[in-house]
Amino acid sequence: MAIRILPEELIDQIAAGEVIERPASVVKELIENSLDAGARRIEVDIERGGSSLVRVRDDGGGMQPEEVALALARHATSKIASLEDLASVRTLGFRGEALPSIASVSRLRLLSRAAGAEHGTEVVAEAGSARPARPAAHAPGTTVEVRDLFFNVPARRKFVRTEATELGHIVRLVERLALSRPDVSFRLRHGERTLLTAPAETGVERPDARLRAVLGEPFLEHCVAVEQRGGPLSLEGWIGLPTAARAQADQQFWFVNGRAVRDRVLMNAARMAYRDVLFHGRHPAYVLYLTIDPQLVDVNAHPAKLEVRFRESRAVHDFIFRALERTLAATRPQPSVSANELVPVSLARVTPQALRSMPRPGAGLALGTSARESLHGAVVRDAPASSAIELPAAQPELTDRPLGTALAQLHGIYILAQDREGLLVIDMHAAHERVLYEQLKAQRAQGSIASQLLLAPVTVELKSHELDAALEQRAEFTRAGFEIDALGPTRLVVRRVPALSVGVDPAALLRETLAAGELGAGSHHLEAAADRLLATLACRTAVHAHRRLTLPEMDALLREMERTDRANQCNHGRPTWTRLTMRELDQLFLRGR
């Protein structure tokens, strides 16, 4: 075939293949145009999953009569004029190809009226060929109507799925765009049904109604605000608490300068920040807005502009990781707000049903005794169990301390405590595990983990491949406070153990830590592998169920939790404590106050 220049229409259809994949892509391009035009209200109407109609109406700046026809021409845009403009683009669009692409594969009607213009202007096009523009009635703003998408491109039509599937894509897309701009009002309708109504939320700190509409009430109850600034970067938004993590990564929203993106650098930084507080296979929920100097990010990396390229992706990654890390570190027991605003957002509530299934007093309620055995490890960091422990007051005082005063131990598993608000229930092992883990990490950060020489070295029998693995990770073990040596092909001697773990069977400690190390060896991230080792140490060392604790020991653990970052959840992301307020207790007993 001889070389030839392709006809305009065919060029548009090829371009449409890149930008317009399915009905949801049309919705995206049209809403983005409305946002770029400064709309305060956007109304979207869909019929038959978008294949028969997509209509987007806005109250934005509109177009002058002579611009309306031009908007359908290829590479016609009002958003950039030069390469410099492209380098610092602030609008969502700039390529000037959405409208001509859509027009080339549909029946399109564009109606627009600029503020101050006497009337509107209308232009209709079919398969890309437009009829002359003519005056038409329209309020200031723009309406774009796209009918019979892909009617002239059967090959494309085959890729459009069922009405329900396409509608699902559209709903998720509109939700995402609605989150990107809480200050703009959105409404989405499918036929007669209204699927989303999101009035503009201006002058509010948190766009609750919008977050609720998209992520649901549980997210609102279990999220914390993020607000961090650093040089040309700032990060704002809300992140779900680890205890409210999800089985799917379906509630993770990233916005860069207002643009919804799915970006690996950003998602990875968030995943890393949650590493320490989430069990493997769980996913955090979040809505995060990154603001960055437009010069430092290339938004023209993808025709649909879903991906971005950061000039300095390492720095962006580190900033986000640290910002989220810091926010999550603050998830530790805080004093409750007031007697009426009872429960901090972070708490998993004990349901009345759960409470009813608890044993009654007398049946297994072990009051704190002066058990002689002391709590090994560092629960009582500043006051070793054998010496300067304060005796509890005869009547436990009502304190303002976030975790109150210990009353008793329940079934060797929970600590019961009271404060002004009511009853606190603390998962002893989970809490102690977190406290130890944070102490081990802090020691490592300061140089080395305190270790203690065993009076009598302990020999451990291992399979030869286990022994090889132990020797391979010897440096890691040394850093964690162990001293180990091979005594033969299947025998290892342990001479030192981490000081926090004194009292725990050294052989068991070593075996489990070794197993964790093997798991960690698969990790690409060195620090993550080392953390897993410390987490195992902490778990093995933490008080196990059915150990009797004295009241001072329990109190010491509570105080330690209050000082510990991330103490609201154990190393696997489960909650470590919960509060039952007097009011909730009263409700259980139908006692009005």
185-190/41-47 β-pairing: parallel
Using CB under 6 A as the binding rule, whether residue 184 contacts ligand ADP is answered as no
Site string for Mg ion, 53-92 (x = CB under 5 A): ----------------------------------------
Min separation Cβ 178 and ligand ADP, Å: 17
Site string for Mg ion, 17-46 (x = CB under 5 A): ----------------x-------------
- Return the number of the residue (181 or 317) whose C-beta is nearest ligand ADP: 181
415 phi, psi to nearest 5 deg? -100, 135
Question: 434, 390, 464: which is closest to 561 by C-alpha?
Answer: 434
29 in Cβ contact with 116 (< 8 Å) = no
Question: 324, 321, 177: which is closest to 261 by C-alpha?
Answer: 177
Using CB under 6 A as the binding rule, whether residue 71 contacts ligand ADP is answered as yes
Q: Which does 79 bind (CB under 5 to 8 A by kind): ligand ADP, Mg ion, none?
A: ligand ADP
- Return the number of the residue (29 or 584) whose C-beta is nearest ligand ADP: 29
Among 60, 128, 377, 404, binds ligand ADP (CB under 6 A): 60
- Return the number of the residue (39 or 556) whose C-beta is nearest ligand ADP: 39
Q: Residue 409 has what DSSP assignment? A: E
Site for ligand ADP, residues 19 to 38, rule: CB under 6 A: 29, 33-34, 37
Min separation Cβ 79 and ligand ADP, Å: 5
Using CB under 6 A as the binding rule, whether residue 62 contacts ligand ADP is answered as yes
Among 50, 60, 61, 93, binds Mg ion (CB under 5 A): 93
Among 21, 45, 52, 76, binds ligand ADP (CB under 6 A): 76
List residues bridging with 196 in a β-sheet.
Answer: 188
Question: 277, 285, 278, 207: which is closest to 252 by C-alpha?
Answer: 285
12 in Cβ contact with 100 (< 8 Å) = yes
Question: First vs last Cα of the chain: how many Å apart?
Answer: 90
Min separation Cβ 537 and Mg ion, Å: 55
Among 98, 256, 484, 580, binds Mg ion (CB under 5 A): 98
Q: CA-to-CA distance for 546 and 121, rounded, in angstroms?
A: 79
Min separation Cβ 33 and ligand ADP, Å: 3
Token code pair at residue 330: 């603050």
- Return the number of the residue (18 or 373) whose C-beta is nearest ligand ADP: 18
- Return the number of the residue (138 or 511) whose C-beta is nearest ligand ADP: 138
- Return the number of the residue (88 or 587) whose C-beta is nearest Mg ion: 88
Site for ligand ADP, residues 328 to 357, rule: CB under 6 A: none
The b/e string for 225-242 (b: 16+ C-beta within 10 A; e otherwise) is: ebeeeeebbebbbbbbbb
- Return the number of the residue (200 or 267) whose C-beta is nearest ligand ADP: 200
Using CB under 6 A as the binding rule, whether residue 180 contacts ligand ADP is answered as no
Instruction: Quote the Cα angle for 584-587-591, to 5°.
Output: 125
Part in contact with ligand ADP (CB under 6 A); list of ranges 90-98, 275-283, 388-396, 398-406: 90-98
List residues bridging with 107 in a β-sheet.
Answer: 126, 147
Q: CA-to-CA distance for 200 and 207, rounded, in angstroms?
A: 9
Site for ligand ADP, residues 131 to 160, rule: CB under 6 A: 142
Among 17, 40, 41, 96, binds ligand ADP (CB under 6 A): 96
Using CB under 6 A as the binding rule, whether residue 65 contacts ligand ADP is answered as no
Q: CA-to-CA distance for 142 and 157, rounded, in angstroms?
A: 27
Question: 182, 232, 187: which is closest to 210 by C-alpha?
Answer: 182
Using CB under 6 A as the binding rule, whether residue 95 contacts ligand ADP is answered as yes
Using CB under 6 A as the binding rule, whether residue 77 contacts ligand ADP is answered as yes
Q: CA-to-CA distance for 178 and 280, rounded, in angstroms?
A: 31
Q: Which does 530 bind (CB under 5 to 8 A by kind): ligand ADP, Mg ion, none?
A: none
Q: CA-to-CA distance for 177 and 521, rounded, in angstroms?
A: 41
Q: CA-to-CA distance for 554 and 113, rounded, in angstroms?
A: 71
477 phi, psi to nearest 5 deg? -65, -40
Q: CA-to-CA distance for 142 and 38, rounded, in angstroms?
A: 11
Calculate the alpha carbon distances from 179 to 200, 235, 267, 303 in Å.
11, 15, 17, 22
Using CB under 6 A as the binding rule, whether residue 275 contacts ligand ADP is answered as no
Using CB under 6 A as the binding rule, whether residue 111 contacts ligand ADP is answered as no
- Return the number of the residue (104 or 501) whose C-beta is nearest ligand ADP: 104
- Return the number of the residue (98 or 378) whose C-beta is nearest Mg ion: 98
Question: 543, 519, 542: which is closest to 531 by C-alpha?
Answer: 519
Q: CA-to-CA distance for 73 and 65, rounded, in angstroms?
A: 15
Part in contact with Mg ion (CB under 5 A); list of ranges 95-103, 222-230, 356-364, 385-393: 95-103
Q: Which does 555 bind (CB under 5 to 8 A by kind): ligand ADP, Mg ion, none?
A: none
Strand order in the sheet with 286-292: 223-230, 233-240, 286-292, 252-256, 259-261
Nearest residue relative to Mg ion (C-beta): 93
Min separation Cβ 79 and Mg ion, Å: 8
Min separation Cβ 30 and ligand ADP, Å: 7
Binding site for ligand ADP (CB under 6 A): 29, 33-34, 37, 58, 60-63, 71, 76-79, 93-99, 142
Binding site for Mg ion (CB under 5 A): 33, 93, 98
